[in-house]
A and B are shown apart, each in its own frame.
Chain A
């Protein structure tokens, strides 16, 4: 199984290491043709406005939408969750992939000094998950088909729509691989 990690900018190496730990082969994606040989795509954290521009430069935005149409799984973390949202509050001009029916608000929990760590309860996980939120987006609104898997102070922070997963925190920054495992087992292998 090949997992593609979008590598235009951001914390792609941490996702790569996490999936390699779990025995997957990981391919770094910088150009559209590189999507051909992967079974699932991860869009990592980073700077969402930078990533949006770099995806547009060489047509990755269009190619990722075609990738979604082929029913393969996609997971966005933090900036990646912004990239896959259908609406970005206050930034209607920011390019986005619109893969999931949700509205996000960038840097909604505050600037860097407000970035935080907290334990979350995640649906179907037996134990809590230590989550790191960095200048995180807030999910303001979700469509009817979007399922909430975890919340923080009543905000959804991990959501699923068909084969598209979004987390506004950073599972790749800890050694806990359960969400990476969940992604492989529930969304990639079930294809």
Chain B
């Protein structure tokens, strides 16, 4: 067998083996079925909840909040980061403030956000936007500052003016690191929305999992985990795809081993 074929077999086979092991462990009583329902039951529950539209309804609610919040937060973060990156005095003045606010876990300010934005959709979107904003602004600033000086020199040597420098050198030069930031931000947005939905929602995949706990249905909780995992993978693939379209010059934009995180 070729090395590639063996790799593929390992990559596919290992998870299947793990699931089989899990099933066997539950059936033989090694794992407590009250906490770890057997995969067969989880899959059955998942299909039932998917078929009757329950999962779709909750997933959709979460996805909308994440997308709207992410769009607002990343757009604001991107704009602010581009300004901070290019205007030195602004950066010197605001970077300590932003760094200080960044380290506060966004879930900690959820009560305040709910106080301000109420119990409706606005507070959920706001908390996602805030979390996204900080990651986007910090990474975008670092990305702009990190543009190789030789490219700036080359731009100036060929007579690029301020706006030309920005459009032809700084923005494309910073784009790979900006995308790394957006990938991180989207991952964080998912974490934050699940946490927010645990405590302050009547729908959404976070609410769904919390409700499953309240009603002692671990198999439904696991169905929720599957959805979250799928959302994570899907968002990762989406960012990667968009990055590839925007940056055709990159061999692989979002490869986790390829670039540093700049955070």
Do the two chains bind? no
